[in-house]
Amino acid sequence: MKVFICGSVDPRIKPQYLEGIDKIGENLLQNHDGIMCVGSKTGSIGAMYTKMIEGDGHVDIIVPTPYAHEAEGMIANSITKVDTLFILQQVALRNTHATIVLPGGNGTLAELYMITDSIKSKFDTDIVIIYNANGFYNHLKEMNDFMLEAGTLNDTQYKYFTWCDTPEEVIAQLDKTRQELMAEKR
């Protein structure tokens, strides 16, 4: 299975929002799963990237051309350059089975909502696992619940969000996705 990783590339992210990423990465390694992410050795993406590389895991980097310099010198099975963030999302969704949204900033939120819009338009039906490390996404969840109640968020999009507060919950969702993929192959 291949998992698209969204999250922060900012080195200033507080350590409590990186907690548990190593456990999730260890599970991906144990199951011989690969990841696709933007090129960064810092932030929450950098934490997952480092875990995968140190464990000799499969990493594909996808990066918008204006940021290609950030991926220079990084170890990866492949590095794909694309013109825009929108194209990055489309390529990632076509080539992965699930998305994990780690703590991140505006770029991460843009990715999250572009992904859900792609799901809504039936471009892809990947599961979207939002890792709410130490309550990082509590306010976003409240806002989404409010938008759903207000009628401005489509519940068909929202049903693809799987909110996980612990790495164990993320791992359980990954295990479920793996089982579903194996059932489809039969």
Give the global pTM.
0.93
Structure confidence at residue 112 (pLDDT): 86
| Token reading at 157 | 């999009």
Q: Which of 142, 106, 97, 104 is nearest to 1 (CA)?
A: 97
Task: List for the chain the helix, strand, coil content (%; round to 5).
Answer: 50, 20, 30
Structure confidence at residue 23 (pLDDT): 98
100-106: average pLDDT = 96
DSSP for 115-169 reads: HHHHHHTTS---EEEEE-GGGTTHHHHHHHHHHHHHT-S-HHHHTTEEEESSHHH
Average pLDDT, the chain: 91
pLDDT digits (tens, 9 = 90+) for 162-180: 999 999 999 999 999 999 8
End-to-end CA distance of the chain: 16
Rounded percentage of the chain residues whose pLDDT exceeds 90: 65
pLDDT digits (tens, 9 = 90+) for 49-62: 999 999 999 999 99
Structure confidence at residue 47 (pLDDT): 97
Structure confidence at residue 121 (pLDDT): 64
Q: Which of 156, 167, 119 is nearest to 17 (CA)?
A: 167
